[in-house]
Copies of this chain bind each other. A is one copy, B any other.
Amino acid sequence: MATPEKSNNQKSARKAPLSRDLVLSTALALVDEEGLDALTMRRLGQELHRDPMSLYRYAANRAALLDGVTEVVLDELTIFPDDPDWQAQLRRIAHDFRLMALRHPKVMPLLVTRPLSTPLGLRPLGTLRPLERILALLIDAGFAPADALHVYRVYYGFFYGHILNELQEYVVDPDESEAILRLGLHRLPAKEFPHLRTLAPALADYDGAVELDRGLTILLTGLATQLAA
């Protein structure tokens, strides 16, 4: 009786009803593999073996779909405001975030841009959670709320900037990276870009983790010095 031998196994889950989670994670996978432009309603529908229109049950429109993807990605982060050593915490969070960014480089433009079109208070909750957590962390560590906000701003500012920097210098195929990079830089007129050209090798072997950590050290050093005064 019952379900007529429907193979709900690995490959073509044709009948199981959709869910917001399934839609969003499929969307994320699609973006990871083929980039933001590939994420169209039609294409996503095809990926899920559904009519594109059915997606509108789970996201009001394409913009909402994009917001959903950013939420899914941010959910990969876990922030425990417990550890009393806030500096170590901030370091850990930054590195976690960095890894997440490298896992989903194609999503970062979204993560960075979407908030610009939505006033802070109206953003999807998943987006605001990291902010709240970090504030909690700092306040628990003894900062006055207003100071916590300032520290957060400096920290998050620096941090987002680093990610963007790193992704900009990130080259897809690491084998050819040096060749391509130098080739690209070689294209620059020597007269106008002497330093950039000279620094080609230095640019080529970029270690994001080290760079990030160095930046954090500078930042935290500065913070400590500043707070002492």
Contacts and interface: CB of A to CB of B under 8 A. Distances in A.
A226 to B, nearest CB: 5
B211 A135 contact: no
Interface residues of A, number: 70
Per DSSP, chain A at the interface is: helix
A84 interface: no
Interface in A213-227: 214-215, 217-223, 225-226
A98 to B, nearest CB: 12
A10 interface: no
15 contacts: A109-B109, A121-B180, A121-B187, A125-B188, A132-B193, A132-B196, A148-B195, A150-B211, A153-B211, A157-B161, A159-B161, A160-B160, A160-B165, A221-B222, A225-B225
The 10 closest A-B pairs by CB, nearest first: A121-B184, A222-B222, A161-B161, A157-B161, A218-B222, A160-B161, A135-B195, A221-B222, A157-B162, A109-B113
